[in-house]
Structure 1
Amino acid sequence: MKRLTLISATAVAATLALAGCASETGSESTMPGMDHGTASASPSAESSAAAEHNSADAMFAQMMIPHHEQAVEMSDMVLAKDGIDPSVTELAEDIKSAQGPEIKTMTGWLNAWGEPVTMSGDHRMEGMMTEDDMAALEAAQGTEAARLFLTQMVKHHEGAVKMAQEETANGSNPDAVAQAEKMAKDQSGEIDKMKELLAGL
């Protein structure tokens, strides 16, 4: 009897040990799932944070997109002309390469925020050229075209800097505010460069 009892006790102990191992293995097998669940919650939180914005952020992007589009159009005009000073051509290429991607970035923000890309109503954008201004640039050639492009673009950039400064002061989305700060800095530097080029024409 004592021997049987000892065997039974040993069997029970072994069974409990195996059950414990199975339990531990089961717990370990659930960890990747738990980790995955935690990871999947993170992008959602990031998306929520990215979508946070105020009316100043939306207005900044909605107004700056057509503003940039006109700058790209002006640059295309001068790049299509002959007899333009190489320094002016280089500047026009720089403006296109900088502002084209920024248009895509700002369009992406508005889509992520659930805001329309085109602003409703009539809103005045600082520094925008009129149809007559654009026609004059289109018609100009050579040094006259270079001078007109620089004169117009200084005004255009000054308007953009002002709009960017307003976003820096009033916006709430970190990406939009950071982009506005960069725009103000970059375009202020280009204004100085354009004034130097004008003095040399």
Structure 2
Amino acid sequence: MGTTRLRKLALAGLTTSALALLTACGGSADSTSGRDMSTTMSSSAPASSQPSSAPSSATFNDADVMFAQMMIPHHQQAVEMADLAATRASDKEIKDLAAKIKAAQDPEIQTMRGWLKSWGKEEPSGGMGHGMPGIMSEEDMKKLEAAKGAAFDKQFAQLMIAHHNGAIDMARTEQAQGSDAEAKDLAKAIETGQQAEVQQMQDLLKRL
């Protein structure tokens, strides 16, 4: 009986030890699983909470829309003036400057049209250009169209200086009040580039 009882006690002890081991392993597995899940969640949370490269349409405000809607027709008129210089100007520097203006502003018009489309906003209508800073009147445009040679060169420089100064004012407003980073960058580029062209035309007028 003593031997049998010892065997039973030993068997019971082994069973208890095995259960304890399984419980410990199970707890370890659960704990590891918990840590893995926590690690996975913590590593994936920032990715899901941070937006992927947000499109321009998510950042614009009313000032950005106004900037694009006003600057498009403003640029379009500058391009029209530049086109006239190709056949009417006599001064090579005026012709070169006009070509430079067209080459810069044509792509900017397309860029701003793309913004308005992505923002779900309308492109400017025919009458939106009136009253903008530096915009030419129809009478001014007709006078420029009628001029040729040295007379055209002088009128072109005078009118384009006023036109550029108006664009610079609008660009500064966009930089101060806009929200879209790309629009503000373009506004800064317009301000910088057209200020340099204004200085160039002011120097031109001294010899025309």
Q: 1:155 to 1:80 in 2, by over 3 A?
A: same
Q: 1:74 to 1:121 in 2, by over 3 A?
A: closer
5+ long unaligned stretches in structure 2: 1-46
Q: Which residue of 2 aligns with 1:139?
A: 146
- Cα deviation for residue 134 of structure 1 reads 0.3
Q: 1:117 aligns with which of 103, 123, 127?
A: 123
- Cα deviation for residue 120 of structure 1 reads 9.3
Q: 1:150 aligns with which of 146, 151, 157?
A: 157
Q: Aligned partners of 1:176 and 1:193: how far apart in 2?
A: 26
Deviations 1:18-52 (A, max 9, x none): xxxxxxxxxxxxxxxxxxxx8xxx9x833445432
The number of residue pairs the alignment matches comes to 162
Seq. identity, %: 44
Question: Within 5 A, what are the aligned runs for 1:48-127?
Answer: 48=55, 50-81=57-88, 84-118=90-124, 124-127=131-134
Deviations 1:73-109 (A, max 9, x none): 001011122x610000000000000000000000011
CA RMSD of aligned residues (A): 2.3
Q: Report if the CA contact (8 A) 2:63-2:178 is conserved.
A: yes
Q: Which residue of 1 aligns with 2:201?
A: 194
118-127 or 53-62, which moves further after superposition?
A: 118-127
When the two structures are superposed, what TM-score results if normalisation uses the length of structure 1?
0.75
- Cα deviation for residue 128 of structure 1 reads 0.3
- Cα deviation for residue 166 of structure 1 reads 0.2
Q: Which residue of 1 aligns with 2:177?
A: 170
5+ long unaligned stretches in structure 1: 1-37
Give SS of 1:70's match. helix
Q: Aligned partners of 1:190 and 1:169: how far apart in 2?
A: 22
Q: Report if the CA contact (8 A) 1:59-1:119 is conserved.
A: no
Q: 1:191 to 1:49 in 2, by over 3 A?
A: closer
Question: Within 5 A, what are the aligned runs for 1:179-190?
Answer: 179-190=186-197
Which amino acid is 2:156 matched to?
F
Q: Aligned partners of 1:155 and 1:184: how far apart in 2?
A: 14
